[in-house]
């Protein structure tokens, strides 16, 4: 006599499905507990980076990248990678400067990492492309695949491996820019208050960096570095231009232009910043309304994939179990 089979739904064991869902829920709860109990202070690392930048400025290491490299002993690996790229004639000045700019916009102050990004574009396609060719053509994985499908797979692996460093860097720049954009209106309001209180520009930037460091650590990092550069650089205009180059946002470039004009022509700083703050707040509200308008269309796919199947299990599960028991008993 065969053992009694468990209840099924659409050919799947209900107990097995419930076990998997329970495991997923348990994993989500443990992940949430781990994330809540391992929260670190986001300002510790950034304060350390700002102190290092302050020491560099005190030493006068602000002229060029080559001069900074001559004064550090941490670039041996970068020099080796640069030598390899030069040997293969893959190191171009405009490409290097563009990559270094992207690294700075991503919050990575080590510009020597640009050599490794360019080197990864050379190495990753070779490694992953060779692995794909060996797996599909030598080891004959997926023998049911046709010649066209194998060719497209290898081509996709090569293109994806080549674009992977740029995609990773672009994502970091986008995330950092979005985080900074959220705090721009609040930062401008605090700058207005500091300007009306009689603080100098560098003191105002430093005060805003301290006040907003917890809520917007990325923005506090950039404003703190700008305050340091305003105190040490010979040209104050250069400090504002450095801020515009480090942050890939039109709003920040508008603030920098306003600050440069007030420094040059002596126009009232508080009134100009107040107008900018109002514009940025309206822009932030418009982006929020746009996201809210897209929400119904975005929720359609999660509703179909996750909510409706669960609803069907809850509604049809008891009926399926009763039908299955009737057939077994009959």
H helices then E strands: how many in the chain? 14, 2
pLDDT confidence of residue 39: 58
The CA-atom distances, in angstroms, between 179 and each of 134, 137, 217, 268, 302 are 43, 46, 9, 29, 26
Residue 325 in this model has a pLDDT that exceeds 50: yes
Rounded mean pLDDT, 200-210: 88
pLDDT confidence of residue 212: 87
pLDDT confidence of residue 62: 47
pLDDT confidence of residue 40: 60
- Collapsed DSSP state (helix, strand, coil) of residue 9: strand
- The rounded radius of gyration (Å) of the Cα atoms in the chain is 28
The pTM of the full predicted model, rounded to 2 decimals, is 0.64
* Predicted confidence band of residue 71 (pLDDT cuts 50, 70, 90): very low
pLDDT confidence of residue 60: 53
pLDDT digits (tens, 9 = 90+) for 219-236: 988 999 998 888 888 888
* Predicted confidence band of residue 289 (pLDDT cuts 50, 70, 90): confident
Residue 133 in this model has a pLDDT that exceeds 80: yes
User: Which strand (E) or helix (H) includes residue 145?
Assistant: none
- Stronger pLDDT, 4 or 304, i.e. the higher one: 304
């Amino acid at each position: 006599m065969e053992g009694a089979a468990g209840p099924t739904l659409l050919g799947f064991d209900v107990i097995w499905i419930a076990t998997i869902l329970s495991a997923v829920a348990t994993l989500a709860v443990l992940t949430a507990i781990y994330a809540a109990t391992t929260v670190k202070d986001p300002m510790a690392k950034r304060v350390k980076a700002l102190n290092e930048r302050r020491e560099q400025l005190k030493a006068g290491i602000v002229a060029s990248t080559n001069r900074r490299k001559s004064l550090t002993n941490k670039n041996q690996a970068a020099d080796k990678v640069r030598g390899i790229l030069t040997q293969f004639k893959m190191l171009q000045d405009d490409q290097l400067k563009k990559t270094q700019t992207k690294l700075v916009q991503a919050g990575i102050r080590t510009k020597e990492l640009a050599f490794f990004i360019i080197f990864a574009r050379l190495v990753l396609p070779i490694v992953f492309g060779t692995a794909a060719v060996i797996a599909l053509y030598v080891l004959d994985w997926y023998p049911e695949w046709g010649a066209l499908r194998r060719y497209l797979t290898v081509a996709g692996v090569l293109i994806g491996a080549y674009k992977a460093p740029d995609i990773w860097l672009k994502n970091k720049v986008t995330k950092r820019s979005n985080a900074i954009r959220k705090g721009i209106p609040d930062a401008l309001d605090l700058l207005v208050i500091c300007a009306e209180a009689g603080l100098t520009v560098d003191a105002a930037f430093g005060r805003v960096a301290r006040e907003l460091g917890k809520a917007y650590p990325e923005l506090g990092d950039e404003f703190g570095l700008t305050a340091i550069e305003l105190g040490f650089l010979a040209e104050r205009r250069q400090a504002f231009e450095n801020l515009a180059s480090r942050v890939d946002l039109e709003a920040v470039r508008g603030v920098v232009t306003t600050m440069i004009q007030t420094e040059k022509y002596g126009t009232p700083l508080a009134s100009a910043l107040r107008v900018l703050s109002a514009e940025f707040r309206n822009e932030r509200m418009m982006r929020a309304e746009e996201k809210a308008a897209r929400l119904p269309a975005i929720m359609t796919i999660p509703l179909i994939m996750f909510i409706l199947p669960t609803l069907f299990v809850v509604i049809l599960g008891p009926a399926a179990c009763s039908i299955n028991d009737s057939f077994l008993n009959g």
